[in-house]
């Protein structure tokens, strides 16, 4: 269940109390665990912003809401509220300044943001499924890479292999577990168990030298004129009514289609 921030100052306080040291975090998902080493020294504002949401428990009970084959797997925007029996948007604080120091290569994690606004990243992030540098290193001011997967990339790829469905709004490419053509034929309602849920994200190592042996690729394209084409890793998208109804168990499976 989403643990919302109760005051506007809670996130700011959490950020101020976090040390600027290399950090390893673990994503506990329903498909397995993913460990990510964060680039604290080179992207300090982005890492502190991300860790503030982690410390607040904002990602507990969230889910992967977007999966694009050979491109990205995205989360950090929405959670399922067990009490309200519906999806809710994660509470966000002020956007963080863009820090496009590193290249969007396979296995890295980067911040999602609003189109045409380089400094608009808040809570949403994505894993790069491929080397997306020719596009994402320059698009929209460059997408800030702030860490890399050091264990569990196979779990990220398992998520990417799941069937995807178009429910509209922010969920045009929603990955679902144990849900496919047979369930659609039977008009079976989507349940929270079908979501790729993130049970928690926790800090498992805050050693200052945890990133010492990593060799992230620098973003050398950011100074080039123009922006790359291809997919958009925007965090925007409205909460569609069909999605809310589906998660309330009202049997609308026939109203949406498999994503292509």
Contact 80, 190 (CB under 8 A): no
CATH number at residue 178: 2.40.100.10
- In a 13 Å sphere around the CA of 71, the CA atoms on its Cβ side amount to 13
Secondary structure class of 145 (helix, strand, coil): strand
Cα pseudo-dihedral 77, 155, 136, 46, rounded to 10 = 50
- In a 13 Å sphere around the CA of 45, the CA atoms on its Cβ side amount to 13
Residue 210: inside a domain: yes
Q: pTM value?
A: 0.82
Burial class (CB in 10 A: 0-12, 13-18, 19+), 186: exposed
Residue 4: inside a domain: no
- How confident is the model over 8-38, as pLDDT tens digits? 344 443 443 444 345 899 999 999 999 999 9
Residue 6: inside a domain: no
Rg (CA), the chain: 18
Q: Is the pLDDT of residue 58 over 70?
A: yes
Domain extent at residue 229: 13-258
pLDDT band at 260 (very low <50, low <70, confident <90, very high): low
- As a whole number, the mean pLDDT across the chain is 83
Which residues are bridge partners to 63 per DSSP?
Answer: 197
Residue 17: inside a domain: yes
Q: What is the pLDDT of residue 256?
A: 47
Residue 3: inside a domain: no
Q: How is 146-191 classified by DSSP, letter by letter? A: EEEEEE-HHHHHHHHHS-EEE-STT-TTEEBSS-SHHHHHTTPPP-
Q: For a pLDDT cut of 70, what percent of the chain falls above it? A: 77
Distance of CA 217 to the CA centre of its chain: 21
Residue 1: inside a domain: no
- How confident is the model over 66-106, as pLDDT tens digits? 999 999 999 999 999 988 889 999 999 999 999 999 999 99
Residue 29: inside a domain: yes
Q: What is the pLDDT of residue 226?
A: 43
Contact 12, 93 (CB under 8 A): yes
Q: Is the pLDDT of residue 249 over 60?
A: no
pLDDT band at 48 (very low <50, low <70, confident <90, very high): very high
State the total domains in the chain.
1
Q: For a pLDDT cut of 90, what percent of the chain falls above it? A: 67
Residue 234: inside a domain: yes
Please calculate the CA angle 153-62-85 and round it to the nearest 5 degrees: 145
């Amino acid at each position: 269940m989403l643990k919302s921030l109760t005051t506007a100052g809670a996130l700011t306080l959490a950020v101020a109390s976090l040390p600027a040291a290399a950090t390893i975090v673990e994503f506990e998902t329903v498909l397995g665990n993913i460990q990510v080493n964060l680039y604290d020294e080179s992207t300090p504002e982005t890492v502190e912003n991300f860790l503030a949401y982690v410390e607040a428990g904002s990602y507990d009970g969230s889910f992967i809401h977007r999966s694009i084959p050979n491109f990205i797997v995205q989360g950090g925007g929405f959670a399922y509220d067990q009490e309200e029996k519906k999806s809710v948007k994660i509470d966000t604080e002020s956007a963080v300044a863009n820090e496009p120091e590193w290249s969007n290569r396979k296995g890295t994690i980067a911040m999602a943001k609003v189109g045409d606004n380089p400094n608009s990243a808040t809570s949403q992030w994505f894993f790069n499924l491929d080397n997306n540098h020719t596009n994402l290193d320059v698009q929209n001011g460059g997408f800030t890479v702030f860490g890399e997967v050091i264990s569990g990339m196979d779990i990220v790829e398992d998520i990417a292999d799941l069937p995807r469905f178009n429910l509209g709004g922010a969920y045009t490419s929603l990955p679902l577990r144990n849900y496919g053509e047979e369930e659609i034929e039977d008009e079976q309602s989507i349940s929270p168990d079908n979501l790729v849920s993130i049970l928690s994200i926790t800090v498992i190592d805050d050693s200052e030298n945890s990133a010492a042996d990593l060799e992230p690729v620098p973003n050398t394209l950011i100074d080039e004129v123009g922006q790359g084409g291809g997919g958009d890793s925007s965090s925007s998208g409205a909460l569609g009514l069909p999605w809310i109804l589906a998660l309330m168990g009202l049997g609308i499976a026939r109203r949406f289609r498999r994503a292509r």
